[in-house]
Amino acid sequence: MSARADPTLMKEIGLFGAADVSACFNCGNCTAICPLSKGDTVFPRKVIRYLQLGLTGQLEESPEPWLCYYCGECSATCPREAHPGEIMMATRRWLISRYDWTGISRLLYTSKAWEIGLSLVLGLIVVMLFALLHGPVVTERVELNTFAPVPSIETADWIVAALMTFFLLTNAGRMFRFTMRGVKAGLSVYLSEISTFFVHMLFQKRWRECHGPKIHWLKHFLLVTGYLTMFFLVFVFLPWFQTDGWNVSSLFGYYATAVLLYGTVDAIIGRLRRREEIHKHSHHTDWMFLFLLFSIALTGILVHVFRVVGLPHATYYAYVIHLAVDAPWLILIVPFGKWSHLLYRPLGMYLVSVRARATSTAAAGGVVPNPV
Amino acid sequence: MNVRAATRVFDTLVIGGGIAGLQTALDLADLGLSVAIVEKDASIGGKMIGLSKVFPTLDCASCITTPKMAAAAHHENIRIFTLAEVSSVVRRGEDFTARVTLKPRFVDEDRCIGCRLCEYACDADVADDFEGGLSSHRAIYVPFTNAIPQIAVLDPEECNLCGKCVKVCPTDAVVLDQKPREIEIEVRSVVVATGFETTPMGARSEYHGNEIANVISPLTMERLLAPHGPYGRVLRPADGKVPDSVAFVQCAGSRDRSLGVPYCSRVCCMYAIKQAMLLSGSLPFADITIYTMDIRAFGKGYETFYHNASAMGIEFVKGKVARIDEVDDRNVEVRVEHIDERGQVEERRHDLVVLSLGMLPAADLRDRMPIGVSADGFVTVPKPTIEPCRTTEEGVFVSGTAAGPKDIVDAIAEAGAAAMAVSVYLKKKEPEGCAACAVTAGSDTP
Amino acid sequence: MSRDEVKIGVYICHCGGNISDRVDVAMVAEEAGKLPDVVISRTCMFMCADPGQELIAGDIERHGLNRIVVASCSPSLHETTFRSAVVRGGLNPFLYEHVNVREQVSWVHASGRDATAKATTLVRAAIARVRHHEPLSPIKVGASSRALVVGGGVAGLRAALDLAGFGLPVSLIEKSPKLGGRVEGLGTVFPAGESGAELIRTLVEQVSAADEITVLTRTHVTGATGYVGNFSVTVSRDTGNSSAIETEIKAGAVVVATGSTPYRPVEGEFGFVRFPEVVTLPDFLRILDQARSGGALTVNGRSIRRVAFIHCVGSRQIEGIHEPKPDCSLNLNCSRVCCTATLKAGSDLIERFPGTYVYDFYRDIRTYGRGHEEIYERASADGVVFLRYEVGAPPQVTEAAPGDAGSMLVTVRDSLTAGMEIEVAVDLVVLAVGMEPAEVGALAQTLKFPSGADGFLQEVHPKLRPVELAVAGVVLAGTCQSPRDIEESCASASAAAVKVAGLLTRGYVELEPFVARVSAERCEGAGACVSQCEYEGALKVVEAEVDGQTVRKAVVNGALCTGCGACVAVCPTRAIDISGWTLDEFEAMVDAICADPMEVAGD
Amino acid sequence: MKTDRILILASAACAYPGADAVGQAHLSYPANTFVLRVPSPVVFPESFYYDSFEKGIGGIIVMSCGVECPYEGAYEKLAARLDRVALGLREREINPRRLKLTSICTVCTKSFLKEVTDMNKVLAAEGVAA
């Protein structure tokens, strides 16, 4: 059965930020220059090829986009200036929208207006909720926990977290289904490879195999640690973290905000300068991601500073704004937007290793004839 | 030859004494027109004289080039200026005046008899560029076996001023205090035949062309294959080992926007196949691989040539080599996506790797003469289809690779076309005359 | 010439290893040097280079040589080179003998010992022959200054214009009713996108304005006789009312610009003929040229939204894979222009009819020329999707199911997608057909034009004499020689014109002196020779007074004799011979070949 | 006297370039072959063939242009002559297969090789080592 070429996918991927798919003349330079491209998982050309031919099914099944860390070497050396690195990036965006069954991802990625509009609506909802439901406003001193009682916030936290997790997990489930189409692996295989998932999630180990300076990896690693720290502070340790005084959790808060600020500012400057390959192309969702993350860090610091300095109103306003930017972040960007790569990337890596293990086991067991 | 007189008059100035310039000059001279060939090197012959054998006939390149060189040198209507560079061409009414700088040869051209006694006496060794730097010549030397003129030239950078050459010269031809001279040539038409240079070896940093000794240029491979070349056989430069595995990396200097050379250089596929065939002749047990994006065997008989190479066991791998590194024992590793039904990334080791470099224009004449040059650096041809040799300036024509990459067959055909265009142009300028009447041999011809 | 006057110089060329890799050239020279009257016997790296030539000239002067033998490559390459070197040494050029020890020795015999022995024998034979050589002079005959250009396509027009521009009278004949050839139907042409018809119009206007050019359309050659400088070509002009006018054109040289025709696929090849949706590229270019832009391209009332182009149809064929034509021939070679033309057509199609999807099935993309790679890039930018097939697995063209996105399906194992089988639905399939030589007809038959295995006319040597045919005075312009684009056709046409100009400006040509000559002493006037001669006026028996007696003697007209030698074989008294190719010479060579070289070595 | 030497009389217009083409293609054949370039083999009288065999030539291959011969009627005359020579050889008790007339074009490399191989087989059958 032959695969049917579909000429419309190239245009579709253009909406996700890949402008030059057709410029590729399939020389294979990108695939061969990439140190991560080896064995059975070769990219970016394979992905570009699926795009050129419009092989939507094959593309959905491809974990390869998640194996690329976008060092940009392929783009810098591409003889046709087809920007394969950016095509991989766009394909990741497209995949996120394919995994997402709600269609929200697609809206965010393909429409600036929808992304900004939805973010504003969510922010306004937060502001309105506060306007209607906030606790007593103590003006003599800063009493944030009175203005925004931890149990309420925690409840909201958990609602959001539940929603987020639901969408993320159902989408990840779809990714799993796409990627493992036609692959049979026993539970033991899945269990034996589970460490892969966590190692890659926490350390982005593969990135270190990329050529060139390791600084990009380091920056990203710090950003991830900062982000995860903040995540746990807010979702698990909120009662300790959101206090009106100082406690040891603040130390973690300092670290997290510092690396988040540094990371986002550094990325924003990079994207404005457009010197390195990874910063040459910016999709509107990239800007939104950085803007929200930067705003979260900045407003978080402001809340803390105002509270420490003892400015009650400023603290409360800053807090509302802080949560108003948190909302679109948590509700849009995390499950439906760029953040989700934090889940899909290690999951992709995990599924690749499961697939490899399954294939080799099957081959060894004589189920599938060894091709060699 | 007398080159002292200040001004000379010719019908045509041919800039460049490579195969295209020579062919144009010969065709013009056969029509009775007087021609001055200005060649920047010490010998005419251009790039072709350095080649081993040429596709698709596998004739030796010298066998084609040297007779044309000799014919030009002996032709009564042709004057050759070597070590001469055109510094400007200015239009004067219907005609042109070319200022030509004669670089010092430090040897009197009229006296030198090419006996090479000076060369044998000289102690200073210089890397021989003609041999790809793989062997050396003396500081005073006759450029190469078939050079025309067979006259010694002294390299002032490398000369240690010992004076031995002066003493041994039987005709007192060595003149150590020669200075550059300017002459003027008045002509009625000009042919630009300045040819090409290869893309630099270091153009693509991932290939480490200037850093790995066993990664060589195709012109060096030509010399290795030439039986009268530096080693007389094929050895790899780093350690003199006989290579068991040789690879050719195609499009190493063309069809690559990241190098600023988007165009196809037109000859690299065929010269690589030719070199591969010659190699498999001299090293019958060596594995030979050609890494290529598309094989462009488009000329008459070229496809059969390519097919024969495949049949001989030369391996063609579709895929652009992305990276070349030196590994153990001075071997060379290439990384490539093998674009076939398996579609794997492969790291393959070879003893010797040839970068199939492309063609860049050898001379930028924009500031020296009234002539249009395109974005690719080659001479602009405003109407390439039906007037392939006309430039933007009336009376100025182009021949060979100065107007874009070309193989020898096409360059020679175009050289003939340039000669035709020149002669028709001169005819038009002189409605009453005939070609034979228009003969105005060099004014200083004795 | 008596024996003691003969002084022979023998030169063995290394040919930069081409010869010396197999043949022990030093040993050959040594053996030759042992033979009587051989004064000099040398080897040289490159005999044809200036130092080698000067060596001969110098030795003639220094050693008083009067016979020269050079053993090197084929005489077709350098016999004339060495003859001119001999002249520079002050000797008659025909006191020279050429030995071919490259094409017929070193390149064909694997054993160095055998090759050396054979080369030695051949040199001995040449030495035996050269003793018999006598000074000869070329036969100078007046030449017509008119050039005949056969074929009024772009190459013929270019050549005619060049020759007329040089002041030579030109007859330009074209078999179809109008000048222009195939370029006119190409629409816009690469690299610059000019209109082909416009280019032709420019050239035709110039041709019409040139007084030197006589144009004859609807005219074809029916026969030709003569030789360089004096061809006589009969042409037949179709007047349209079933009567044809026969004329004779006297010309000094002939430019063959008969062009090429597109390959016509056989029925069923990629669905050709079987499906009306399958057309050739030239047909498609005509459709595109005549269509009005915007909306969708319409072909036979069907609107075309998706198009497949298939490359290398009738080109780059391989024995055992492709079906040969009825005459058992295959086109092994690349047709050179189809890649760029196809890509340009794809781009033009998309740009003129936005929303059209184009698929391109190729083996290698060969956009080699200046500005051609840009056309490939443009096609990519326009969204042409490329699929690559291996020669053994060409795309399959079948009918699509009703209601599919297109009426045809093209299926291929795509080597760019790891051999995955890909199928596309299209409305039109365009076959990028190769070029085949056009029928040259009576001209080629009567003047015996050589053609190569590919059927195209064969030049003497692609680099030494790239536009000349082995028939002296006949040159090649354009695609009758091999596939090429307009630029290359015009370049070759001008290059051909410059050779003709060089030939015809002098008013005379020099013919080779290898014609029959009669020994007056031996000839008894029997006339057997005359009965053998096919060339009217070349040979006759005349009566002459010798010592008061009327005797009959054969007499040769050198300008008309072709030197075939038919007369030589039948002379009962061995009175007639071909100058430079005498029976004595051949017999001397056979004697030398029969002498055992090993015995000679022991001498 | 019989040797393995093969004399090849090759027409300058077709067969000689054909023999060159064999070299250009770097094909291989035995070295007992001696090619004489002639304008047309029609030049040789019958006696030339008898004498050559007498002198010790093993086999003669006459490679003409065939019907493509650039000279009017030369091929027909040549063919007729060689028919007569064949009869003459029989009279002289020389195997007429030691003389062969063939047409070789400028690109007939395969035919050239075949003729050489065939003649060597004839000579081998005659008891002459090739």
Q: Is C587 touching A (CB cutoff 8 A)?
A: no
Shortest Cα–Cα distance, D82 to chain C (Å): 12
Same domain? For B207 and B231 the reply is: yes
CATH at residue B165: 3.30.70.20
Residue-wise pLDDT for C504-527, tens only, equals 998 898 888 999 999 988 999 888
Q: SS3 string of C448-462?
A: CCCECCCCCECEEEC
Q: Are A308 and A300 in contact (CB under 8 A)?
A: no
Q: Give the DSSP H/E element, type plus range, for residue B281.
A: helix B268-282
Q: Is C562 in Cβ contact with D57 (below 8 Å)?
A: no
**Residues of chain B neighbouring C51 (CB-CB closer than 8 A):** 145-146, 150
Residue-wise pLDDT for C110-119, tens only, equals 999 999 999 9
Can you tell me the ipTM of this complex? 0.88
Whole-angstrom distance, CA of residue C321 vs CA of residue B228: 42
**Residue B375 is part of which domain span?**
1-103+180-195+362-446
Same domain? For B304 and B409 the reply is: no
| Partner-chain residue, chosen from A2, A7, A23, that has the shortest CB–CB distance to C381 | A23
Instruction: Look up tokens 């290529």; give the residue.
Output: B292
Domain boundaries C264-434, corresponding CATH code: 3.50.50.60
Q: Which CATH class is domain C515-578?
A: alpha beta
> Phi-psi bin for C418: left (phi > 0), alpha (psi -120 to 50), beta?
left
Q: What is the pLDDT of residue D122?
A: 94
Q: What is the mean pLDDT of chain C?
A: 92
**Residues of chain C neighbouring A50 (CB-CB closer than 8 A):** 417
Same domain? For B331 and B403 the reply is: no
Residue-wise pLDDT for B46-80, tens only, equals 999 989 889 998 877 877 888 799 889 888 899 99
Whole-angstrom distance, CA of residue A371 vs CA of residue C120: 59
Domain termination site, one of B179, B213, B236: B179
**Same fold yes or no, C1-135 and C147-259+438-509:** no
Q: What is the pLDDT of residue B111?
A: 84
Q: Is C414 in Cβ contact with A53 (below 8 Å)?
A: yes
**Residue D93 is part of which domain span?**
6-122
Q: What is the pLDDT of residue A19?
A: 85
B334 versus A211: the higher-pLDDT residue is: B334
CATH at residue B424: 3.50.50.60
Instruction: Look up tokens 């002996």; give the residue.
Output: B74
**Residues of chain B neighbouring C468 (CB-CB closer than 8 A):** none
Complete edge-to-edge strand list for the sheet that includes strand B344-350: B323-326, B332-338, B344-350
Contacts of B305 (CB under 8 A, 6+ apart): B55, B56, B270, B273, B274, B277, B297
Q: How far is CA B341 from the centre of its chain?
A: 40
Residue-wise pLDDT for B98-153, tens only, equals 999 999 999 998 888 777 889 989 999 999 988 888 889 999 998 887 788 888 99
Q: What is the mean pLDDT of chain B?
A: 91
**Is the predicted pLDDT of residue C121 greater than 90, yes or no?**
yes
Same domain? For B320 and B400 the reply is: no
Q: Is B57 in Cβ contact with D26 (below 8 Å)?
A: no
Interface of A with C in 38-57 (CB under 8 A): 46, 49-50, 52-53, 55
| Partner-chain residue, chosen from A2, A23, A50, that has the shortest CB–CB distance to C421 | A2
The residue in chain D having the minimum alpha-carbon distance to the alpha carbon of residue B57 is D24
Q: What is the pLDDT of residue B431?
A: 54
CATH at residue A24: 1.10.1060.10
Same domain? For B355 and B366 the reply is: no
Q: Is C373 in Cβ contact with B145 (below 8 Å)?
A: no
Whole-angstrom distance, CA of residue C149 vs CA of residue C156: 6
Q: Which chains touch C (3 or more CB pairs under 8 A)?
A: A, B, D
Same domain? For B308 and B412 the reply is: no
Same domain? For B324 and B434 the reply is: no
- Tell me whether residue C345 is exposed, middle or buried, using C-beta atoms within 10 angstroms of its C-beta: 0 to 12, 13 to 18, 19 or more: buried
Residue D30 lies in a domain: yes
**Residues of chain C neighbouring D16 (CB-CB closer than 8 A):** 76
**Is the predicted pLDDT of residue A366 greater than 50, yes or no?**
no
Q: What is the DSSP string of A127-189?
A: HHHHHHH------SS--HHHHS-HHHHHHHHHHHHHHHHHHHHHHHHHHHHHHTTT----HHH
**Pairing label, strands B125-127, B136-138:** antiparallel
The residue in chain A having the minimum alpha-carbon distance to the alpha carbon of residue B255 is A79
| Partner-chain residue, chosen from C306, C384, C423, that has the shortest CB–CB distance to A3 | C423
Same domain? For A95 and A130 the reply is: no
Q: What is the pLDDT of residue B317?
A: 97
- Tell me whether residue C498 is exposed, middle or buried, using C-beta atoms within 10 angstroms of its C-beta: 0 to 12, 13 to 18, 19 or more: buried
> For domain C1-135, which architecture applies?
3-Layer(aba) Sandwich (3.40)
Same domain? For A239 and A268 the reply is: yes
Residue D128 lies in a domain: no
Q: Which of A230, A232, A225, A227 is nearest to A202 (CA)?
A: A225
Number of independent structural domains in chain A = 2
**Is the predicted pLDDT of residue B6 greater than 70, yes or no?**
no
Residue D26 lies in a domain: yes
The residue in chain C having the minimum alpha-carbon distance to the alpha carbon of residue A47 is C417
Residue D48 lies in a domain: yes
Number of independent structural domains in chain B = 3
Same domain? For B415 and B298 the reply is: no
Q: What is the pLDDT of residue D2?
A: 57
Same domain? For B218 and B298 the reply is: yes
Contacts of C310 (CB under 8 A, 6+ apart): C270, C361, C394, C395, C397, C410, C429, C430, C431, C432
Residue-wise pLDDT for B150-206, tens only, equals 889 999 999 999 999 999 988 899 999 999 999 999 999 999 999 999 999 999 999
B398 versus D3: the higher-pLDDT residue is: B398
Q: Is B416 in Cβ contact with C467 (below 8 Å)?
A: yes
CATH at residue D73: 3.40.50
Q: How many CA atoms lie within 13 A of A137 on its CB side?
A: 15
- Tell me whether residue C320 is exposed, middle or buried, using C-beta atoms within 10 angstroms of its C-beta: 0 to 12, 13 to 18, 19 or more: exposed
Q: What is the pLDDT of residue B7?
A: 58
**Is the predicted pLDDT of residue B443 greater than 80, yes or no?**
no
Residue A4 lies in a domain: no
Number of independent structural domains in chain D = 1
**Is the predicted pLDDT of residue C22 greater than 60, yes or no?**
yes
- Chain D positions contacting chain B at CB under 8 Å are 24, 26
**Residues of chain C neighbouring D33 (CB-CB closer than 8 A):** 118
Q: Is B325 touching A (CB cutoff 8 A)?
A: no
B439 versus C238: the higher-pLDDT residue is: C238
Token readout for C394 is 């060409």
Whole-angstrom distance, CA of residue A286 vs CA of residue A92: 12
**Is the predicted pLDDT of residue B446 greater than 70, yes or no?**
no
Q: Is C448 in Cβ contact with D43 (below 8 Å)?
A: no
Q: Is B343 in Cβ contact with A46 (below 8 Å)?
A: yes
Same domain? For A259 and A185 the reply is: yes
Model confidence band, residue A365 (pLDDT cutoffs 50, 70, 90): low
Nearest-5° Cα angle at C463, C460 to C465: 40
Same domain? For A213 and A313 the reply is: yes
Domain limits of chain C? 1-135, 147-259+438-509, 264-434, 515-578
Residue A287 lies in a domain: yes
Same domain? For A109 and A95 the reply is: no
Residue-wise pLDDT for A75-114, tens only, equals 999 999 999 999 999 999 999 999 999 999 999 999 999 9
Whole-angstrom distance, CA of residue C378 vs CA of residue C340: 11
Domain termination site, one of B310, B325, B359: B359
C-alpha dihedral over A303, A306, A308, A313, to 10 degrees?
A: -100
Same domain? For B371 and B429 the reply is: yes
**Residue A320 is part of which domain span?**
104-356
Q: Which CATH class is domain C147-259+438-509?
A: alpha beta
Q: Is A25 touching C (CB cutoff 8 A)?
A: yes
Same domain? For B375 and B446 the reply is: yes
- Substitution target in B424, B428, B430 with the highest count of C β-carbons within 10 Å is B424
Same domain? For B439 and B372 the reply is: yes
Min mean pLDDT across B106-120, C28-42, C80-94, C568-582 is at: B106-120
Q: Is B251 in Cβ contact with A33 (below 8 Å)?
A: no
Q: Which amino acid is at B76?
A: E
The residue in chain B having the minimum alpha-carbon distance to the alpha carbon of residue A83 is B258
